[in-house]
Structure 1
């Protein structure tokens, strides 16, 4: 069997010229398109930031635009290869339906992400308790929420878990109430204790002037008389004020001779000489 090498070579060259050019153009469309998508998404993010749009909403919108544009770039690259894009779109639609049924959890996370953006129970920078974890919200993406804990651990929680439970947002309100429980012995003069607690709160600079301050006996416990101390501070000052008041109570009570009872155990040993004879 004789093979016309020249003919085969010419056919191979023709195929390479046709399909090689198509493949090269498809790669160029994909690479350039991906670069353009990146530029556009960053420009949108910057524009939203300049307009003082909430970082949570800005990040969410940027992600949506990026993935939608990348889908168009992918379809355009396939079209350059000669693939019927109408069929691809139909196939992608059918596949999307099948994948959607298989990945109902992911769709639930996406829907929860949309709800979080719409109702905004928390924002980037808020300190929250959600999904079994607590920390500062670093990012709310399409499918998950990222928290940074006080000890610098990153916690990634699915949006469905965040929206499916209680969300405690400690940063949403401008001010918070500090609650302290202080126990003193039954022999203490309650009037003196109340005066000292009022003075401690009054001398704390972070306590908001004009807000209600409560110092009252809250419980007659087994070994102590418990006072409740309540005052208001700006939300960022909550923990510094809480720690400062606790320390000042101990220092002041020690100076004034006010006893703070603590749990004690008395051990009695009965020695009987006859039993050891």
Structure 2
């Protein structure tokens, strides 16, 4: 091999290296531009969550980079068909090994696309209940009632029934109270209804209701129900239970808002007549007789 051939090879491969570097730089710039365009386009609509937008933008960016990498390899004369086949087989093996993880990613994408709940909603899913704190591609974070963090895989969340307690503006609350048959059932119902009607958190259309749910020989069950805002239903039910407990424990000491409880006027007792002291009986005077 003479110097001319070496020079030609150097020029050829040197130009290929320059072309490859130029393709990499241009491909990198195009990938970043496409990523920004996808983020901007998906961010302009409220139907797509920001996490889903970032995930799709990343897929678009890395797809362009993979295409640029294959083009660079072909520029150097490397047969990419066998490389693509090896990559496909490797991807299949990795996909089978990470089947659970990929199912969680797919479930996360479905949750973010259809959005059966959002951050801040109170939900029951997969045997767990709490408030949604975060939603990612792999897990869903809940805060339980005692403020304990619960991390659930998205595959378990998507494949289970979802009970969303915050999707509607109002919620109903109910409570059942058992009393003895000889108790003042009508009085308890009237006072409880007055309490619910006087609470501003309780919706008055439809208004609260109270009725006898069950009637037995040894007990009577009264059912109370009403409507309130989703965030106030639990508090109203708790206050109702506390008030009913006070009524049952001491019926006379449980005031009801909006109901005046004045005692009946007591008539003054008649003035007792002054006691007249009895006069002492007169003793008969002894008469002196003259002999």
Report TM bin, short chain: 0.5 to 0.7
Assess, with a 3 A threshold, how the Cα gap between structure 1 residues 27 and 152 changes in structure 2: closer, same or farther: farther
How many residue pairs get aligned? The number is 243
TM-score by length of 2: 0.63
Specify every segment of 5 or more residues in structure 1 that has no aligned partner in the other structure, as ranges: 1-16, 260-277
Distance 1:223 1:23, change over 3 A: farther
Structure with larger Rg: 2
Tell me if 1:66 matches 2:93: no
Alignment counterpart, residue 246 of structure 1, candidates 241, 245, 268: 241
Deviations 1:27-46 (A, max 9, x none): 98999899878866765675
Larger helix fraction of residues = 1
Secondary structure, counterpart of 1:240 in structure 2 = helix
**What is the CA distance between 1:161 and its match in structure 2?**
1.2
**Following TM superposition, by how much is the alpha carbon of 1:215 offset from its aligned partner in structure 2, in angstroms?**
0.7
Greater mean deviation of Cα atoms: 208-217 or 115-124: 115-124
**TM-score normalised by length of structure 1:** 0.66
- Contact residue 44 and residue 62 of structure 1 kept, 8 A: no
Describe the shift of the 1:170–1:244 C-alpha distance in structure 2 as closer, same or farther (beyond 3 A): same
Larger relative contact order (CA 8 Å, sep ≥ 6): 1
Q: Find the aligned partners of 2:180 and 2:145 in 1 and give their Cα distance.
A: 35
Where does residue 275 of structure 1 map in the other structure? none
* Aligned: 1:140 with 2:135: yes
Mapped partners of 2:24, 2:144: distance in 1: 43
Provide structure 2 residue ranges, at least 5 long, that are not aligned to the other structure. 1-13, 255-291
Q: Structure 1's 121 and 183: CA in aligned 2 closer, same or farther, altered over 3 A?
A: same
2:141, 2:149 within 8 Å by CA — same for their partners in 1? yes
Separation in structure 2 between the aligned mates of residue 33 and residue 138 of structure 1, nearest angstrom: 36
| CA separation of 1:118 and 1:35: change in aligned 2, threshold 3 A | closer
Find the residue that maps to 2:120 and give its secondary structure: coil
- Please report how far the alpha carbon of residue 181 of structure 1 lies from its aligned counterpart in structure 2 after TM superposition: 1.7
| C-alpha distance in structure 2 between counterparts of 1:201 and 1:227, whole Å | 15
State the distance in 1 between where 2:223 and 2:177 align. 6
Alpha carbons of 1:208 and 1:129: their partners in 2 closer, same or farther (altered >3 Å)?
same
